[in-house]
């Protein structure tokens, strides 16, 4: 399946992106290149390869212990809300952003 300029325009519209003609053309080319590569990978015979849950060899020690650095107390809830332009006493109140702003 090939990606068309119409597909890219539709997705850009859903994401509220303003793309130039050059950007649309480049995205069509790049997305089709990615899909072509995936098609090439799908042609590989992987029937003799066992599925993997991890990409790392379990015998190698590639992880580290989680260590807290510079631990400091969080900003108290009431002080954080005191800095808010608007709150309901427990949460920040922010304007609803649902509408698309047309230029």
Number of domains in the chain: 1
What's residue 24's pLDDT?
96
* Residue 3: domain span: 1-44
| pLDDT confidence band for 57 (50 / 70 / 90) | low
57, part of any domain: no
25, part of any domain: yes
65, part of any domain: no
* Ranges 45-49, 58-62, 64-68: which has the least confidence: 58-62
CA 99 to chain CA centroid, Å, is 22
Asked whether the predicted pLDDT for residue 95 surpasses 90, the reply is no
* Ranges 42-51, 56-65, 66-75: which has the least confidence: 56-65
The domain spanning residue 7 has which CATH number?
Answer: 1.10.20.60
96, part of any domain: no
């Amino acid at each position: 399946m090939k990606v068309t300029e119409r597909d890219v325009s539709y997705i850009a519209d859903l994401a509220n992106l303003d793309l130039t003609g050059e950007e649309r053309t480049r995205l069509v080319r790049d997305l089709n290149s990615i899909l072509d590569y995936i098609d090439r990978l799908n042609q590989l015979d992987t029937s003799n390869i066992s599925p993997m849950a991890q990409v790392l060899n379990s015998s190698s020690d590639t992880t580290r212990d989680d260590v807290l650095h510079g631990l400091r107390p969080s900003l108290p809830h009431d002080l954080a809300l005191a800095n808010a332009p608007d709150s309901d006493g427990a949460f920040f109140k922010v304007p609803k952003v649902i509408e698309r702003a047309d230029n």
